[in-house]
Amino acid sequence: MNKFAAILYDSFLEIKDRKIFYFYWLVAGVIVLVFALLPSLRMNGRDILDGNVLGGEALNGFVAKFLDGFLGFAMLLLVFGSAGLAPSFLSKGRVELVLSKPIDRWRLLSMKFLGIYLVKAVVLAVVATSVWLTISIRLGMFNWGFFPGLLFACLQFLVIYAIVFFFGVLTNSAAAAIMGYFVIRIGTDLLAGRKAVYPLLSENSLWKTVLDGLYHISPKIGEMSDNIVPIMTGKGITDFYPVWSTMLIAIVFFLATLLSFNRKDY
Amino acid sequence: MNDSNAAVRVIGLSKQYAAGFRRTPVLALSDVTLDVGNNEIFGLLGPNGAGKTTLIKILLGSLLPTSGTAAVNGFGGGDWRSRLSAGYLPENHRFPPYLTGRQMLFCFGGMAGLSRNDIRGKVDSLFELVGLSQWQNTKIRKYSKGMMQRLGLAQALLNDPQLIFLDEPTDGVDPVGRHEIRTILLNLKKAGKTVFLNSHLLAEVEAVCDRVAILNKGKLIKVGPVSGLLDVKPAYHVETAGLDEAVALEVMNSFPTAKFEGTVITVTLEAPRQINDVIDMLRRRNVELVSVAPVKISLEESFLELIQGGGHHE
């Protein structure tokens, strides 16, 4: 058993022990059951479960939007479910034991991050795929664009978890990790719409520069997720800037987490 | 001691914390220097807040020193290689409650670099050693404090370390368990291991340790063999049938350390043979002697004397 396998095993058992782990499956199970048992799904008086009623493209778009919504909801649950994992790993009485093992601090934390992320990403993939499969069987139409979309959602969750992990390690508190993430998430969504307030700032270009600067250095999670539906419907990534800049910022968050952990007394 | 192959070497180690909202500096360790040789059981004693756990945490890389150096197995405390052959049972540990005892050994054994087969080959004998065989598949959240200590000990021994740090290993363990742990420690010494024992239970330290160090308020006030710690000036209780004031005054003049309690004189001397002078003096004044007995000083009394009265670093 190598060191990473041990940390992965520990992460899996800890995640499995938390009640929210079963909530993911419950939500997915309810959706699967609803779609599996629903006799019809009517829109404008017509049953869209009858594949011929809507055009293939429209149906694809409808399903992609539904799955995008489901992925967004699942990721929200994952944030709540994973925020406490880093603080628990670093809790007093446990962290001393972990740090006494022959592993570099930066490697230990990287392995823990990756361990938690992989378990959560697998959960996300399995629940989302089970929902997609049920809908696809019911519609008799398999949109394989779902998988690149799912992969992109996992990438987005990597960014989200890097932020949650950063606040978790920094504060040793699950609540602070959740709050930190939402402050950034809401703040960046507001910054994405900054152009709406430009007319109110009259001639003051300093504020525009500040808002633009903040926008560019913040993770654009909301804009990143706007790409999921186009990917699922085969249009691909519509805007690369939010994707690569957000990935870059996530790396900065992760490096800052490692730096903080390396210098911290436990 | 000055062993170039010391298992633990600490030189001029200091640790300062910033405490509270105002970040007031608190000196947890002040210029501590000590060596722990291979194949010895070394005890670290001190009252609460003396800096014992801080020292162990620096040695194992949980805390970063403010100044000085701390080396374990020839590597700096922050170097992961120093922990390759080290085991650790922390004080106030919180083992993951979602794991069973067996799962915990697999997780922490894996983190220590052991293969799955290595762990599988050791787990049963370790559970037997610490008396937890029938509890190995029970979740840790159901363990008592004593059971967790036993599990922690098994975890510390899993990678067959050469150097084992035990921070209050018998905390919460019943007397039978304490005796068993003591036996395990002595067997570890027989097997050529080095044990660094951090404890406030003086009898435990006295029973198993070869050498001890005493820390008080972050300062090392004494280090040496346990027998050396007990090496204090001889004292005697002299019980008489009766004492008058003139005799008492004469004894006081000759032996200023003499204390009187009813008909009993307690006198501390420079050398044991001086008790004859005390007896001669009393007999010359026709004082009837009932008994003469040496005052036995325990490690606890010696420890208290050092802590309360300061001390010197040998």
pLDDT at B304: 77
Chain A residues in contact with B108 by the CB 8 A cut-off are 6, 97, 101
Query: Chain A: nearest CA to B116, how far in angstroms?
Result: 5
Q: How confident is the model at residue A52 (pLDDT cuts 50, 70, 90)?
A: low
Query: Is the Cβ pair B109, A3 closer than 8 Å?
Result: no
Q: How confident is the model at residue A75 (pLDDT cuts 50, 70, 90)?
A: very high
Q: State what percent of residues in chain A have pLDDT above 70.
A: 92
pLDDT at A49: 61
Chain A residues in contact with B99 by the CB 8 A cut-off are 10, 13
Query: Chain A: nearest CA to B257, how far in angstroms?
Result: 48
The domains found in chain B, sorted by start residue, are 6-228 (3.40.50.300), 235-296 (3.30.70)
Query: Is the Cβ pair A102, B63 closer than 8 Å?
Result: no
Chain B residues in contact with A99 by the CB 8 A cut-off are 60-62
Grouping H, G, I as helix, E, B as strand and the rest as coil, residue B267 is: strand
Are the CB atoms for A127 and A27 separated by under 8 Å?
yes
**Mean pLDDT of all residues in A69-90:** 94
Test the B interface: residue of A2, A10, A97, A264 with most B CBs within 10 Å: A97
Query: Chain B: nearest CA to A155, how far in angstroms?
Result: 27
Chain B residues in contact with A13 by the CB 8 A cut-off are 96, 98-99, 103, 107
Are the CB atoms for B171 and B163 separated by under 8 Å?
no
> A48-57, A69-78, A98-107: which has the minimum mean pLDDT?
A48-57
| β-strands B24-36, B41-45 pairing | unpaired
Pull the structure tokens for residue A65: 């939007």
The ipTM (two decimal places) reads: 0.83
d(CA A234, CA A228): 10
Q: Exposure of B284 by Cβ count < 10 A (0-12 exposed, 13-18 middle, 19+ buried)?
A: exposed
d(CA A15, CA A37): 30
Is A54's pLDDT higher than 70? no
Query: Is the Cβ pair B106, A91 closer than 8 Å?
Result: no
pLDDT at A46: 67
pLDDT digits (tens, 9 = 90+) for B20-43: 888 888 899 999 999 999 999 999
Which comes out higher in pLDDT, residue B111 or A138? B111
Q: How confident is the model at residue A201 (pLDDT cuts 50, 70, 90)?
A: confident
pLDDT at B2: 46
B137 Cβ contact list (under 8 Å, min separation 6): B100, B101, B102
pLDDT at A170: 95
Which comes out higher in pLDDT, residue A139 or B82? B82
Query: Chain A: nearest CA to B69, how far in angstroms?
Result: 16
pLDDT < 50 positions in chain B: 1-2, 311-314
pLDDT at A83: 95
Q: Which DSSP state fits A46? A: E
Query: Is the Cβ pair B107, A105 closer than 8 Å?
Result: no
Pull the structure tokens for residue A129: 């795929």
Nearest CB among A2, A13, A105 relative to B99 is that of: A13
Query: Is the Cβ pair A93, B81 closer than 8 Å?
Result: no
pLDDT at A195: 82
- The pTM assigned to this predicted structure is 0.84
Query: Is the Cβ pair A100, B95 closer than 8 Å?
Result: no
pLDDT at A239: 87
pLDDT digits (tens, 9 = 90+) for A23-42: 888 988 999 898 888 777 66
User: CA nearest A4 in B: which residue?
Assistant: B111
Q: How confident is the model at residue A253 (pLDDT cuts 50, 70, 90)?
A: very high
User: CA nearest A103 in B: which residue?
Assistant: B80
